Chains A and B, each alone.
Chain A
Amino acid sequence: MKRVPAVFSTSVILLGIWLSLTLSTDVQEIVLGVVVSVLVAVATHGALTGNLFRLLKPRKLIAAIGYVLYLLGQMVKANIDVFFRIFRPVIPLKPGIVKVNLRLKSERAKVIVANSITLTPGTITIDIVGDHIFVHWIFLPDGDVHAETQSMVDGFAGRLEKIFE
């Protein structure tokens, strides 16, 4: 019975995907979509989304929207950065791989942090081992490299902690 909320959230998400793919109000299509969504969600124990009902608190929803906006802003910055770097006659490079701490309980949150770092200016995630994350910089920041990287990672991890814990 513990799995019911997760299975339900997964079937709702799957049904949403089905409806936006078919774009049809035909009863036959919708019934088929409902049946297949529920079957897949039950078979996978709701592993796709987990329990989404925990997010349905105003505080967490606001935090989630804030995170998406923050990420979009960072992505635009990342692209401006890449854009101007690529068109220079000599591309400024100072690459390096830095190891920093990432203390998050939820595996899902770790994946989101890793993906977000890949989409933000000058950094991609190479690997996560236990509580550590390895970040590749295209141009290492000045000063203490580890402290700079840690504050960048904490910017994401701190925001996600409010959503997931």
Chain B
Amino acid sequence: MSVTSIIAHVLTGLGALVLFASGLGVFRLPDVFNKMHAGTKATTLGSILFLTGLGLFEPSWMPKLLLVVVFIVLTNPVSSHALARAAHNEPAEKPDNLIIDDLEESKGENQ
């Protein structure tokens, strides 16, 4: 077993673990904003680790996989912002456990 192969195994394993944690987080956390914490951060790093590990198994795939990584890093937070803002505008989806909510107050000021 070569060193590259060992690193690749470790990276894919870690990536799978982080992706699993992300899935579990989306399941366990109570409301839409907190679910989003697990759904964006953990999936982004999970995909980076997993795809880099995969690239080490098959070096000829590396450029394409790195491109996928760049697109995930650029687009994953954007989709999260869109969902978070939509959820905040929808009273039925908004959680009532927020300790402070400056966005709600500033909405009142604008109207």
Contact = CB atoms under 8 A, between A and B. Distances in A.
Interface of A: 17, 20-21, 23, 75-76, 78-79, 82-83, 85-87, 91, 93-99, 114-115, 118-120, 122, 124-127, 129, 132, 134, 136, 138, 140, 145
Contact of B81 (A118, A132, A145): A118
A78 B81 CA distance: 17
Contact of A118 (B46, B80, B88, B99): B80
B53 to A, nearest CB: 15
Contact of A86 (B21, B36, B45, B73): B21
A91 B67 contact: no
Interface string B56-83: 0000100110110000011001101100
Contacts of A97: 88, 98, 100-104
A130 to B, nearest CB: 10
A82 B42 contact: yes
B29 A124 contact: no
A91 B37 CA distance: 13
A95 to B, nearest CB: 6
B40 A119 contact: yes
Interface residues of B, number: 44
A129 to B, nearest CB: 7
A122 B98 contact: no
A126 B67 contact: no
Given A97-B100, A124-B80, A83 B85 contact: no
A121 to B, nearest CB: 8
B80 A95 contact: no
Nearest to B38: A82
Contacts of A95: 31, 33-34, 95, 97-99
Contacts of B66: 20
B25 A115 contact: no
Contacts of B97: 93, 95
A134 B37 contact: no
Contacts of A83: 18, 21, 42
A118 B78 CA distance: 9
Given A114-B81, A124-B81, A140-B99, 8 more contacts: A21-B63, A23-B64, A79-B45, A86-B21, A91-B29, A93-B34, A98-B102, A118-B41
